[in-house]
Structure 1
Amino acid sequence: MSTTSTSATPTDNSLWIRRFQPRPDSTVRLVCLPHAGGSASFYLPVARAMPDFADVLCVQYPGRQDRRNEPLIDTIPELADQVFTALLPWADRPLAFFGHSMGASVAFEVARRFEREKGIVAAALFASGRRAPSAPRHETVHLRDDRGLIDEVKSLSGTDTQLLGDEEVLRMILPAIRADYRAAETYAPEPAEPLNCPLVAMVGSDDPKVTVAEAEAWAAHTEGPFALRVFSQGHFYLVRDQREVIRTMTDHLRTSLAR
């Protein structure tokens, strides 16, 4: 049974947007969107490490942590609609997007909405650990039983394995993980014109979820400048290579803002 709540609407901006390190004098807002099963707090190190010119906004999806009692959303378009609405009050300065794994798909769709609905072109889109929309795979992890889902998450090292061994914690987080996997694996983007923003695809060289070629296919989804950055490690390369990830984003944002 689907866990989607298509009638849900954002009623409190603070539910969706977490600002761990406010920088009111920043020149750009960097919106960070989590992976499947992830939460806003995953990006706390990014919020602390980014230079002062970037105000980091971390998105908190429903169904986890302090939002665990809210209805889950299991489609990318619905998530993107909600995030887009929540971000409208923050669009008083340039917006850039960083999304990892499922979050990259959400970031892409949110950037689309800002261009289409508001004529706002993102300062940059960083698509991390995710195949381009034009390079789909048939995946059914969301249909596995609980053990199969846990094994998948453990294999990617995306969630603390100690937490996955705690039955009480598992009962709380598995529904959100399954809904996120359903969203990511059933995502079929509507045809649309390419974006106009700079787009940087970032991928781990040993990522089992996306090849370098599948990441490079993001080039077809923008008319703006494109760059591909390959890191060592696997799907969660950004945890170990945080400094280099921050440097990459900082350099590209500075270049974009200088145009």
Structure 2
Amino acid sequence: MPTASAPEDLWLRNFRPAPDAPVRLACFPHAGGSASFYFPMAGPLAQDADVFAVQYPGRQDRRSEPVATDITVLADEVADRLAARADGRPLALFGHSMGSLVAFEVADRLQDRGAPVSALIVSGRRAPHLYRGDDIRTRTDEGVIEELRELSGTDSGLLGDEEIIRMILPAVRGDYQAVETYLRTTTARLTCPVLALVGDSDPRVEPDTMRPWADHTTAGFDLRILSGGHFYLIEEQAAVLAAVRECLSTLSVSR
């Protein structure tokens, strides 16, 4: 099990410290996910970025804490911590699914503070102003588990283990409540470029629902459609890393 270099920081995990890398990259997990989801990315990107993974409360070593059921609350907390770690290097944000919404709100907050991020990479999540009225949070345990199986984000063997299910369901339900009650009524105009990634067979996110992310930036926008479902980034890791590297390579060092 990977461990963070700064265990005292409950929110940000730096699995592979790269203080000499030209850019910082903060990664935001999906609903039910944890910081360790991004452990496989930290090593390959060490030459390109100092990678931090966000650990939401209510899972793994934070399991005893209440799950945050509001995207804006999560964004407030993470924005504070990223601001405290600012060191002059450009900061990019990467979020998958629910993590895209949290990353977007963090970018908005940092920009309001006069410290805009240099790039936002969103993955597997329709644009924030496109509300769909999902109700997964109200389903029975079996219904929630079926949703996880359909998305293929959790090992099917683990979903057959009652002890594991009891451990992850509170975080999953809380995260789905945060996502399903989130509504962006205004269009935030970020000043950083936005890169959107999506799988071509995602059962929940069609590429056309990713294109309106362009409405949330005054800078450049690019959409990359990769092979796979909602968790395409596991099987297509090489393609994802290449897209991330390309995005980060355009950021100028501001030290």
> What range is the shorter-chain TM-score in?
over 0.9
Cα deviation digits, residues 106-129 of structure 1 (max 9, x gap): 000000000002x11212100100
Q: 1:251 aligns with which of 214, 223, 246?
A: 246
Letter in 1 for 2:62: R
CA separation in 1, counterparts of 2:160 and 2:10?
28
State the match for 2:124 in structure 1: 129
Q: Does 2:110 align with 1:114?
A: yes
Contact kept? 1:32, 1:56, Cα under 8 Å: yes
Root-mean-square deviation (CA, aligned residues, Å) is: 1.5
CA separation in 2, counterparts of 1:160 and 1:14?
28
Map residues 119-198 of structure 1 onto 2, 5 A cutoff.
119-198=114-193
Contact kept? 1:26, 1:53, Cα under 8 Å: yes
Q: Does 2:229 align with 1:234?
A: yes
Q: 1:104 aligns with which of 90, 100, 103?
A: 100
State the match for 1:8 in structure 2: none
CA separation in 2, counterparts of 1:41 and 1:208?
24
State the match for 2:28 in structure 1: 33
CA separation in 1, counterparts of 2:140 and 2:225?
33
CA separation in 2, counterparts of 1:190 and 1:106?
15
- Sequence identity, in percent? 52
Unpaired runs of 5+ residues, structure 2, are 1-6
- With normalisation by structure 1, the TM-score equals 0.92
Provide the aligned length of Structure 1 versus Structure 2: 247
Structure 1 residue 48, shift from structure 2 partner: 1.1
| 3-state SS of 2:225 partner | strand
Unpaired runs of 5+ residues, structure 1, are 1-11
CA separation in 1, counterparts of 2:142 and 2:82?
36
State the match for 2:86 in structure 1: 91
Letter in 2 for 1:97: L
Structure 1 residue 229, shift from structure 2 partner: 0.4
Instruction: Indicate the structure with greater helix content.
Output: 1
Q: Does 2:59 align with 1:61?
A: no
Change (3 A) 1:103 1:120: same
State the match for 2:212 in structure 1: 217
CA separation in 1, counterparts of 2:8 and 2:90?
19
CA separation in 1, counterparts of 2:202 and 2:253?
33
